[in-house]
Amino acid sequence: MMQSRRLALTVAGLACLLISISSAAIPAYVLTNTRDVLSGSLSGLGEMLRLNRPVDQPFVGPDMQFDVPIELIKQITFDFPRVIVETATRTLIAPFSAFAGISELLTLDTESGAVDL
């Protein structure tokens, strides 16, 4: 049991299916890189995720940032350092450092205890 928790710390891919929103934690399913599926309450995400465009890189279009309310997110995938945020209308792909609202430590509270990701 402890071994699987430690293995979850090395998650290369993390897919979160967000069901609803609450102030403290969000119900979620997590798929680890070992194909384990965990379910519980995920904490460490803000109410709004923001993707900031780096100011030193050229861009096309007027958007300097994208704000995504947490309730609109269908799935989040972490393939560090890349983060993929999917909504019903768009997919945002950027480095982890370009996102605001995602903690460096996500915690999934499951029936068998907390797992830090």
Residues 5-30 pLDDT 10s? 333 333 333 333 333 333 357 888 88
Provide the β-strand partners of residue 67: 50
What pTM was estimated for this model as a whole?
0.68
- 79 contacts: CB under 8 Å, gap ≥ 6: 12, 13
Residues 89-110 pLDDT 10s? 999 998 998 999 999 999 999 9
Q: Encoding tokens for residue 41?
A: 């309450």
61: region left, alpha or beta (phi > 0 left; psi from -120 to 50 alpha): left
Closest CA to 45 of 11, 82, 83: 83
